[in-house]
A and B are shown apart, each in its own frame.
Chain A
Amino acid sequence: MAEAKEWVKEQKVNIEEILFDELYERARQRGVERVKQSLEKGIIYDAPLLNDVDCAMEIFSYPIARMLVVAIESDYLLRRYALAEAKRAYENMKNEGEDFISYLAKEMGIEVNGEKIHFADYLKYAPTWDMKWKLVNRELKNGYVMLSKNEVARLIQEAIRKKIYNELSYIFAPPEVKKVFRNEIIAIKSRIAFKDKRAKMKEVNADYFPPCIKSLISAAKSGINVPHVGRFTMVTFLNAIGMSIDEILKIFSSSPDFNEEKTRYQIEHITGRISSTVYAPPKCDTIRTWGLCYPDEYCRGIKHPLFYYRRRRK
């Protein structure tokens, strides 16, 4: 990536050329495509690269896509785009050798030592809401977590996503961008409005929540740092009964280290909004072993928190 940046610099092209010159028409088209695909599909597909020109256009399409995303000024799009670019990088990494991946990791500031990574770096980037990524389920020895090549690539994906999101959150697009891509911007914006608007959810009645969920919500609302598994339980439950992401997010907003972007991303992941898996709420047994179960008189015979809610709401 640093190399691509260097290469672009060496070509001595300026923004005007990229935006207006006919030579770069294909790069502009591909840039728009990158943004559209990330919005619609959540992933950016490979373009055929047959010769040097193709490669150059592909490279120039990247800054164009970034400018376009920034110009549209939608946090929803920005999140989708950052994730799609990161996923694309992940797909490409899968075919690369270990050396390249270690090199890339280093460039992203992750110190990979063979197939080992320091736990502090691991925790920064691992999707620990997924049980198999939780540190407790990992081989940790002398401060290092053992990972496969693909798992290292997955951590790099997350580092890239964060990096793109952070970079694009703090810059403004050159005003020309809005002119050049006027029609595309209008089209994409209307798609965002359509996609971002969630169907009006069913009425949620909090009185009938099981006691485990109630206590988690009140803990989160009063700013207590809820354990990870607790967050997972809460989010999957609230999602299953039809609460919207924004409403769920609100519950976490009084947490002492509330980070809207991070929290939203995690919620969207667990609820399948930006991933292929919708996680189901855990069973009562599991909640009990996590130490989050405080049963009341209605819990008798209940094996799953959703049954509790459904039964009592009737």
Chain B
Amino acid sequence: MNFLKRKFYSYYLQPHIEFPDRIERREYAFILFNEDSMHRHISFSSKEAILTYLKANVPAHAYYSSAYYRTPSASTMKEKQWMGADLIFDLDADHLPNIENLTYEETLQEVKKELLKLLSFLTEDFGFGKHDIRIYFSGGRGYHCHISNKSVLELGSQERREIVDYITARGLEIKEIVGERSIYKDRFVDKRIEIYPDHGGWKGRIARGIINFFKQIKSMEREDAIKELMKIEGIGKKIAEALYDALTDERMKRIEKGMIDQASEFRRIVKPLIKRLAVSLHSEADEPVTADIKRLIRLPGSLHGKTGLKVTRVDIDAIEDFDPLTHAVVFGDDMIKVNVEKPIKIKMKENVFELEKGAATVPEYLAVFLVARKMAVA
């Protein structure tokens, strides 16, 4: 048995699995060590049966279906007979910009920002209560958000797609969320935009976003404000300066009331702002996965074969405090000899490690992490 499998085995002797509801209606799937293919269409009738399987097979990855089926072990969708599915959001780092230059810790921090945005949509707009939402650290590079509220179980994939489009702002039409008024003054037409900060939905979100943006700009020193404005695509130095200088106290008051006097400056900033406010879920090509009615998700409490970290429940009120490299670690402190293949600096369980290439003695938890990530061999 190789090192990693041995360690996983020791965990699966007494794992802390959080079992899904309706255990016997789910399909389970596993990837075993040294295998590429997935063992699918497995069903279990009890918690004990799942635990027995984990102990006997020590999988590198363990999944269950978000969907409930009449016959989960059948091999085709038709024979499985779909009955409903939890609503799952999968936030992953893969598609975020510049992600390849970030460390593992920084990457997870970026995903957390997206998670907080997602939660604001789910609670404020969709009205889900905190008890409807369960958040898990995926064990890899992201977070999963599960919703099993009765109202969503039977939604089809097109309806789920509408929900994804909502939180990612796909298909958002600016003319539907702002008012445009033409004011005739001495034969001139003055176009004005009205925004509605007190409204619900994107209408209110974008309005509050615009107001906050201008407030932030106004509170900055001229030079910084111009720099900030120029971060927006399509805004050069000249426009940024003009925008900042036009932002008088009186102007700001009107903006806070929802009136934007110049339609042109609004147009410049509205699209980039929408992008910032929307949740960046998956890469766009992958996105259908989230709206899928039959996807597989990692079993909470199982280990992720590429990190050795546990799929861990995150308290919705303590997201900021959640540190995957402490809270998702299951292995102990016994010292183990490994051969580090790449120099690395990492903070785990509150300890900072700086390792050079070559032999090193490290705590078991770090050894598992490094070996699983293929940064060391045991």
Contacts and interface: CB of A to CB of B under 8 A. Distances in A.
Interface string B156-178: 11110111111001111100110
A135 B288 contact: no
A134 B163 CA distance: 10
B124 interface: yes
Given A135-B163, A226-B288, A256-B157, A290 B171 contact: yes
Interface string A209-239: 0000000000100001111110000000000
Interface in A121-153: 123-124, 128, 131-132, 134-144, 146
B294 interface: yes
Interface string A281-300: 00000000011100000000
B125 interface: yes
B170 A142 contact: no
A233 to B, nearest CB: 11
Given A123-B159, A137-B177, A225-B291, A143 B165 contact: no
Contacts of B173: 131-132, 134, 137
Nearest to A121: B151
Given A136-B162, A224-B288, A291-B284, 12 more contacts: A119-B126, A119-B151, A131-B173, A134-B162, A136-B165, A137-B176, A144-B127, A225-B161, A225-B292, A225-B293, A226-B288, A229-B165
B151 A118 contact: yes
Contacts of B162: 123, 128, 134-136, 228
B191 interface: no
Given A134-B165, A136-B166, A256-B293, A141 B284 contact: no
A134 B201 contact: no
B200 interface: yes
B161 A228 contact: yes
Contacts of A146: 200-201
Nearest to B154: A120
A136 B292 CA distance: 19
Contact of A136 (B77, B128, B158, B172): B172
Contacts of B157: 225, 256-257
A138 B201 contact: yes
Contacts of B83: none
Interface in B125-172: 125-128, 151-152, 155-159, 161-166, 169-172
B199 A136 contact: no
B161 A141 contact: no
Nearest to B167: A136
Interface in A167-224: 219, 224
Contacts of B68: none
Interface string A7-18: 000000000000
A124 B201 contact: no
A142 B127 contact: yes
A7 B291 CA distance: 45
Interface of B: 77, 82, 124-128, 151-152, 155-159, 161-166, 169-173, 176-177, 199-204, 284, 287-288, 291-294
B77 to A, nearest CB: 6
B258 to A, nearest CB: 15
Nearest to B290: A225
Given A137-B202, A228-B161, A228-B165, A142 B124 contact: yes
A124 B160 CA distance: 11
The 9 closest A-B pairs by CB, nearest first: A143-B127, A141-B200, A291-B284, A142-B127, A139-B201, A123-B159, A137-B176, A120-B151, A139-B200
B215 to A, nearest CB: 23
Nearest to A294: B285
Contacts of A120: 151-152, 155, 159
8 contacts: A128-B158, A135-B163, A135-B166, A141-B127, A225-B157, A225-B292, A227-B291, A229-B170
Contacts of B203: 139
Contacts of B82: 257
B163 A256 contact: no
Contacts of B294: 256
Contacts of B155: 120, 123
Nearest to B278: A136
A138 B171 CA distance: 11
A137 B174 CA distance: 8
Given A131-B173, A140-B200, A256-B293, A227 B161 contact: yes
Given A136-B166, A141-B124, A257 B151 contact: no
Contacts of A257: 82, 156-158, 293
B163 to A, nearest CB: 7
Contact of B170 (A124, A128, A224, A291): A291
Contacts of A134: 162, 165, 171, 173
Contacts of B151: 118-120, 143
Q: Which of B162, B163, B177 has the most CB of A within 10 A?
A: B162
Given A143-B126, A143-B128, A136 B159 contact: no
A265 to B, nearest CB: 12
A225 B157 CA distance: 7
A259 B158 CA distance: 11
Q: Which of A132, A137, A226 has the most CB of B within 10 A?
A: A137
A314 B127 CA distance: 53
Contact of A228 (B171, B172, B176): B171
Contacts of B158: 128, 228, 257
Given A137-B177, A143-B126, A256 B171 contact: no
B176 A132 contact: yes
A191 to B, nearest CB: 33
Contacts of B128: 143
Given A137-B172, A256-B293, A225 B288 contact: yes
